[in-house]
């Protein structure tokens, strides 16, 4: 009995120590639970932070590397960038200095040129900064035309001050100037990249040889009738001039030569009753179909088949003058800009407008679209 009592006493002490250990284990578990709770909260915050960062990164990638760049400008002194598919305006640039007459996107999609009065401003497409990265200020009147050489190294412009100018994008100083002796309404670059063609208010069309730095050809399709717009076929085979009487003149140009100053009259097209404000030939990837689009003060855009210049479609929807138009790279769509404050996206297959871009408060004067890959080097 004495030994049993001692064993019971020993067992009691063991149980006491076990109880103390269980108590300490319970406290440890509570502390561990608190640690795990804090760790869970940290993991949740970290996950949220990562998700936010990923979302921001995706937005930045979308903004900095858009596959389609669509821009419009208006008499409301703004330039707007649009999501072509949804119609959402995702960026607005205030342009208080003047109206914008013409927009053009560089071949590499990095910059947007805005031609105003009497300057050209160059904006970074991939930035939200409202300030231009460069200003070109040597014109003395409205700049009506602007465009880029195929690799984007230099820019050309035409102005109501009667000059055609060439600019190095890296410098604000004009590199070359050609005197037209009348207000220049339109300038296009021949695909050979060595000649500019200009049309002016007096009805003159001039070809400027950039190698010889001289006018190599001059013609007047209709005396004292302003040439409003010029366009050249992507392969250099045709040139079209549109005027204030609603007429398009078409010439065939010599193929396979570095110069294209031999104009062979091909067709005279009475396209509209009002002014033709823009004419545009379809791009290379529209082949084998070849179209001419004419935008007019009669509120319509007409699509002509270049083979015979038969009317294919009349795009009806705008309520006022249609100032500008631009084809998608494959020729399947056309963007138009109108005094009714809107821009519209048209299906070339159906002739229907499939998207209306609304946001400007005054006349939309011009549009620019770049939906293709960066071009190969010239």
Domain ranges of the chain: 1-64, 68-370
Distance between CA atoms of residues 327 and 357, nearest Å: 16
The pLDDT of residue 67: 87
- CA angle, 147 then 344 then 316, to 5°: 115
Contact 330, 338 (CB under 8 A): no
Distance between CA atoms of residues 282 and 306, nearest Å: 9
Q: What Cα–Cα distance (Å) separates residue 361 from each residue in 74, 78, 81, 112?
A: 8, 9, 15, 21
Report the Cα 66 to chain-centroid distance in Å.
Answer: 10
Per-residue pLDDT reduced to its tens digit, 14-56: 466 656 666 665 665 666 676 566 656 555 544 434 343 434 4
173 burial type by CB count under 10 A (0-12 exposed, 13-18 middle, 19+ buried):
exposed
Q: What sign results for the dihedral spanned by CA atoms 256, 262, 286, 111?
A: positive
Residue 99 corresponds to which tokens in the numbers above?
Answer: 């109206």
Per-residue pLDDT reduced to its tens digit, 282-292: 999 888 889 99
Give, as one character, the DSSP assignment of residue 22. Answer: H
The pLDDT of residue 30: 66
Q: What Cα–Cα distance (Å) separates residue 251 from each residue in 123, 215, 232, 374?
A: 36, 18, 10, 30
Count of C-beta atoms within a 10 Å radius of residue 117: 17
The pLDDT of residue 55: 44
312 burial type by CB count under 10 A (0-12 exposed, 13-18 middle, 19+ buried):
middle
* Distant-in-sequence, close-in-space partners of 185: CB < 8 Å, separation ≥ 6: 144, 145, 158, 160, 199, 200, 201, 226, 227, 228, 229
Q: Could you tell me which of 253, 256, 276, 249 has the C-alpha nearest to residue 264?
A: 253
Distance between CA atoms of residues 318 and 297, nearest Å: 10
The pLDDT of residue 50: 35
What's the mean pLDDT in 260-284? 93
Distance between CA atoms of residues 219 and 198, nearest Å: 11
Percentage above 90 pLDDT, the chain = 76
Q: Which residues of 247-277 are buried (b: 16+ CB within 10 A; e: fewer)?
A: bbbbbebeeeeebbbebeebbebebbeebbb
Contact 271, 242 (CB under 8 A): yes
CATH number of 68-370: 2.130.10.10
Contact 346, 315 (CB under 8 A): yes
Contact 77, 344 (CB under 8 A): no
The pTM (predicted TM-score) of the whole model is: 0.81
What's the mean pLDDT in 249-264? 75
Per DSSP, helices labelled H in 65-95 are none
Per-residue pLDDT reduced to its tens digit, 94-119: 999 999 999 999 999 999 999 999 99
Distance between CA atoms of residues 79 and 92, nearest Å: 6
Across 22-31, 62-71, 144-153, which has the greatest mean pLDDT?
A: 144-153
Percentage above 70 pLDDT, the chain = 79
Over 70: is that where the pLDDT of 58 sits? no
Give, as one character, the DSSP assignment of residue 73. Answer: E
Contact 249, 268 (CB under 8 A): yes
**What confidence category does residue 373 fall into, taking pLDDT thresholds of 50, 70 and 90?**
confident
Would you call 148 helix, strand, or coil by DSSP?
A: strand
* Distant-in-sequence, close-in-space partners of 88: CB < 8 Å, separation ≥ 6: 82
- CA angle, 269 then 271 then 277, to 5°: 115
β-sheet bridge partners, residue 134: 122
Tally of helices (H runs) and strands (E runs) in the chain = 1, 28
Averaged pLDDT of the chain: 88
């Amino acid at each position: 009995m004495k030994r049993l009592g001692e064993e019971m006493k020993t067992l009691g002490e063991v149980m006491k120590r076990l109880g103390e250990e269980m108590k300490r284990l319970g406290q440890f578990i509570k502390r561990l639970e608190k640690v795990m709770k804090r760790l869970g909260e940290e993991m949740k915050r970290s996950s949220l932070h990562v998700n936010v960062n990923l979302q921001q990164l995706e937005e930045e990638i979308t903004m900095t590397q858009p596959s389609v760049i669509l821009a419009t400008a208006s008499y409301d002194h703004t330039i707007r960038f649009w999501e072509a598919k949804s119609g959402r305006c995702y960026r607005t640039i205030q342009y208080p200095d003047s109206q914008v007459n013409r927009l053009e996107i560089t071949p590499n999609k990095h910059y947007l040129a805005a031609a105003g009065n009497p300057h050209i401003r160059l904006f970074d497409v991939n930035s939200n900064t409202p300030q231009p990265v460069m200003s070109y200020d040597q014109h003395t009147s409205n700049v009506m035309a602007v465009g880029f050489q195929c690799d984007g190294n230099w820019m050309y412009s035409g102005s109501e001050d009667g000059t055609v100018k060439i600019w190095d994008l890296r410098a604000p100083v004009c590199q070359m100037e050609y005197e037209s002796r009348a207000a220049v309404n339109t300038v296009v670059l021949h695909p050979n990249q060595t000649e500019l063609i200009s049309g002016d208010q007096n009805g003159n069309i001039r070809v400027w040889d950039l190698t010889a730095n001289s006018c190599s050809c001059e013609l007047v399709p209709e005396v004292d009738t302003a040439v409003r717009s010029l366009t050249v076929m992507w392969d250099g085979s045709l040139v079209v001039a549109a005027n204030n009487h609603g007429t398009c003149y078409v010439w065939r140009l010599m193929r396979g030569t570095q110069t294209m100053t031999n104009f062979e009259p091909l067709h005279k097209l009475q396209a509209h009753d009002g002014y033709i404000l823009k004419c545009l030939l379809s791009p290379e990837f529209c082949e084998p179909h070849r179209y001419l689009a004419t935008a007019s003060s009669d509120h319509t855009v007409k699509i002509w088949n270049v083979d015979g210049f038969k009317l294919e479609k009349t795009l009806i929807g705008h309520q006022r003058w249609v100032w500008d138009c631009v084809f998608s790279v494959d020729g399947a769509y056309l963007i138009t800009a109108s005094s009714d404050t809107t821009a519209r996206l048209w299906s070339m297959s159906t002739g229907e407008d499939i998207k209306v871009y609304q946001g400007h408060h005054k006349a939309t004067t011009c549009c620019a679209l770049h939906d293709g890959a960066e071009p190969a080097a010239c």
